């Protein structure tokens, strides 16, 4: 019964008029105390005068509260600003009282009405102390009595420095906060066993599951700014092992108007646990590169393409042409851009396989810079849909590249993938062939062709993170193809930012690769996602090993055999020094591949792909049979190999 009453009480707020009435009564009580103090704690004064003066003093106090608005604050969240408002109200009411006394005296309205100045001064001090004390007593009662019995959750703040104190104040002063900070955690022994605002500071070694359970802690907020990313990752990983939810505060530069808001404290995301430092680009060349240019983005409604569009939308371009065949996704992007105040863009539903349609777009809009992000990218699907993979990833890229040369596009930036390196599947092979065609086109016309190559993107359509989230929502199990499988990861904004930067720095003919840190074990990624969901592995959710999918390999690579890297002005962006290609032979073979694909000659197309990309060796796929028919190909033997494989 008491618990239910306190729960109900904790969710209600006192009327501001009730607060005004109570404050006015405290002012009246303080006036009586002022008389008693003035006369040496006795009643040796004319009580009749006190009775006459008391209502007027209360009215003056109420006027002061109304003018300063001190009664409007939430009493349970009283802070320094509230105390400042009370001080202003008392000062104002005292001044009004003095003016009233002088006015009555000068006008000779009430000959016996007077309030000694000493009484007014004592009353001001007593009223200020009483009003402030009353608020803090109520605040203490609410947070230390009501919260213990009601359903408020207890949290710990990791970090007893400035950031931790700011976090504590943000939580304490938040009007709808339903949490109670029960302690700080810090590694500095100088701070341990001390208190901040009455809250104890514990050492990191004190933290255990029993420690957290004894205090009812359900959440830990990491509030440390100047900390190495790897140390932060290890810290967060150690905390998610406990049965608590772990949150972190954003960087200082992301605070709203320099102040931390409770709404900005976010759950730890899976990218916070990756063994890599987020890539930041300073002194970017992108702004100068895109200034007053007509920019076209293909695949502009996809995961990477849409983020490229969002980032471009903040620059001073002349026009932005967004091309995609996905009508619904393109519509959603259009509405998003409009709502964010961006209107200088043209959404176009078109298929990059339709060269005639593309030609009309190039003639109408005359793009200066083209970002090509349109592609089929799902490995298992493309393994048995090679016709579509070749038609989009190879023929579509070929269409765009040819039109870029014919229409004098200044720069053509191609978004590739690490799966194009020593490919083991159709998707990777088609992207590698597209890279090769891009390299061959560099030797024609004035267009500068640039390729960017990076690994998996967190949160992109069809990636492992959304899949794991859906599986967790359904209660598991999480499916991992192999316990030792690893992948490189980066976030969508990072990948898009690097594509733009590589496009700006490219002189033509380069393959830019990005430093993505260390590769991540997908099995460990799955376990961390279970922990971040507040569940335990394998008790709550298990992980099932399903076996490698067709075309999938254990380890991804960013460099092919025979490739090295050259540095750029940004340490996270490197140039792949690829092996020399016979561009004339490459183009003729790619033309042959596109023609073969038009006539649905699946086996012939696969063999042509393996001839064009000698390092393309199928893995865990029905297409492995074609590897045996291809000897180590070169310019002289490739034709004979192709003929023999067709017989």
Structure-derived torsion over alpha carbons of residues 56, 61, 62, 64, reported in degrees to the nearest 10: 130
The SS3 call for residue 562 is coil
The SS3 call for residue 631 is coil
- Give the C-alpha distances (Å, rounded to integers) separating 602 from 56, 606, 626: 98, 6, 11
Phi, psi of 247 (to 5 degrees): -125, 160
- Of 165, 178, 174, 159, residue with least CA distance to 221: 159
How many residues are there in the chain?
Answer: 647
Q: Residue ranges of the alpha helices (H) in 45-79?
A: 47-68
Handedness of CA 3, 8, 10, 14 (dihedral sign): negative
On whether the CB atoms of residues 276 and 518 are closer than 8 A, the answer is yes
Output the pLDDT for position 122.
87
- Of 473, 468, 477, residue with least CA distance to 541: 477
Output the pLDDT for position 459.
67
Helix 16-38 vs helix 47-68: crossing angle, to nearest 10 = 140
List, for residues 278-292, the tens digit of each pLDDT value. 666 655 788 889 999
Which residues are annotated as catalytic?
419
List the beta strands (DSSP E) in 133-276: 153-158, 179-186, 195-196, 199-203, 217-222, 245-248, 266-267
List, for residues 153-200, the tens digit of each pLDDT value. 789 999 998 888 888 888 877 655 577 889 999 988 889 999 888 899
- Using only C-alpha atoms, the chain has a radius of gyration, in whole angstroms, of 35
The SS3 call for residue 244 is coil
Output the pLDDT for position 632.
44
Output the pLDDT for position 390.
95
pLDDT less than 50: residues of the chain: 1-11, 149-150, 630-647
Domains annotated for the chain, with CATH where assigned, are: 2-146 (no CATH), 152-268 (3.40.50.720), 286-457+489-516+557-583 (3.40.50.720), 588-646 (no CATH)
Handedness of CA 595, 599, 605, 608 (dihedral sign): negative
647 vs 642: CA distance, rounded Å: 9
Query: In this structure, how many other beta carbons lie within 10 angstroms of the beta carbon of residue 69?
Result: 12
47 vs 36: CA distance, rounded Å: 11
Q: Which residues pair with 158 in a beta bridge?
A: 185, 222
């Amino acid at each position: 019964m008491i618990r239910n009453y306190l729960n109900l009480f904790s969710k209600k707020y006192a009327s501001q008029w009730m607060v005004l009435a109570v404050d006015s009564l405290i002012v009246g009580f303080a006036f009586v105390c002022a008389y008693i103090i003035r006369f040496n704690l006795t009643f040796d004064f004319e009580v009749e005068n006190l009775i006459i003066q008391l209502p007027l003093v209360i009215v003056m106090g109420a006027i002061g509260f109304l003018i300063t608005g001190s009664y409007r604050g939430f009493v349970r969240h009283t802070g320094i600003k509230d105390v400042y408002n009370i001080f202003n109200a008392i000062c104002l009411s005292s001044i009004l009282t003095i003016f009233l006394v002088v006015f009555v005296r000068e006008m000779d309205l009430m000959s016996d009405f007077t309030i000694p100045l000493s009484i007014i001064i004592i009353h001001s001090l007593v009223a200020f102390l009483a009003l402030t004390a009353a608020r803090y007593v109520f605040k203490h009662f609410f947070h230390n009595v009501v919260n213990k019995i009601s359903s408020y959750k207890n949290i710990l703040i990791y970090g007893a420095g400035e950031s931790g104190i700011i976090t504590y104040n943000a939580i304490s002063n938040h009007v709808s906060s339903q949490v109670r900070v029960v302690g700080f955690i810090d590694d500095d022994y100088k701070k341990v066993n001390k208190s901040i605002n009455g809250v104890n500071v514990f050492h990191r070694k004190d933290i255990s599951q029993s420690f957290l359970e004894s205090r009812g802690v359900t959440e830990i907020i990491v509030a440390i700014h100047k900390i190495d990313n790897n140390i932060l990752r290890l810290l967060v990983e150690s905390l998610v092992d406990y049965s608590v939810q772990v949150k972190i505060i954003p960087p200082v530069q992301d605070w709203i108007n320099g102040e931390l808001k409770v709404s900005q404290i976010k759950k730890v995301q899976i990218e916070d646990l990756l063994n890599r430092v987020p890539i930041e680009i300073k002194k970017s060349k992108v702004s100068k590169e895109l200034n007053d240019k007509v920019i076209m983005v293909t695949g502009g409604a996809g995961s990477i393409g849409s983020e490229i569009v969002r980032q471009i939308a903040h620059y001073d371009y002349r026009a932005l042409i967004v091309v995609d065949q996905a009508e619904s996704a393109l519509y959603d992007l259009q509405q998003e851009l409009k709502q964010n105040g961006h209107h200088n863009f043209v959404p176009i539903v078109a298929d990059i396989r339709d060269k005639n349609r593309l030609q009309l777009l190039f003639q109408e809009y005359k793009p200066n810079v083209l970002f090509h992000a349109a592609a089929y990218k799902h490995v298992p699907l493309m393994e048995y849909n090679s016709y579509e993979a070749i038609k989009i990833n190879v023929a579509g890229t070929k269409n765009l590249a040819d039109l870029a040369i014919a229409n004098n596009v200044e720069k053509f930036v191609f978004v590739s993938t690490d799966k194009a390196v020593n490919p083991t599947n159709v998707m990777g092979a088609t992207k590698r062939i597209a890279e090769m065609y891009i390299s061959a086109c560099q030797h024609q016309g004035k267009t500068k062709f640039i390729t960017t190559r990076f690994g998996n993107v967190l949160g992109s359509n069809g990636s492992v993170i959304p899949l794991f989230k859906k599986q967790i929502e359904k209660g598991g199990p999480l499916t991992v193809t192999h316990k030792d499988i690893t992948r490189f990861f980066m976030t969508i904004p990072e990948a898009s930012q690097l594509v733009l930067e590589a496009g700006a720095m490219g002189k033509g003919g380069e393959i830019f690769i990005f430093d993505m840190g260390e590769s991540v074990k997908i099995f460990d990624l799955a376990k961390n996602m279970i922990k971040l969901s507040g569940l335990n592995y394998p008790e709550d959710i298990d992980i099932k090993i399903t076996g490698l999918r067709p075309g999938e390999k254990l380890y991804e690579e960013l460099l092919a055999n025979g490739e090295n890297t050259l540095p750029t002005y940004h340490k996270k962006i490197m140039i792949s020094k690829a092996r020399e290609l016979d561009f004339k032979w490459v183009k003729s073979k790619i033309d042959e591949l596109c023609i073969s694909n038009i006539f649905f000659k699946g086996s012939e197309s696969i063999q042509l792909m393996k001839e064009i990309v000698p390092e393309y060796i199928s893995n865990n796929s029905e297409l492995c049979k074609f590897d045996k028919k291809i000897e180590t190909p070169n310019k002289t033997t490739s034709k004979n190999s192709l003929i023999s494989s067709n017989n």
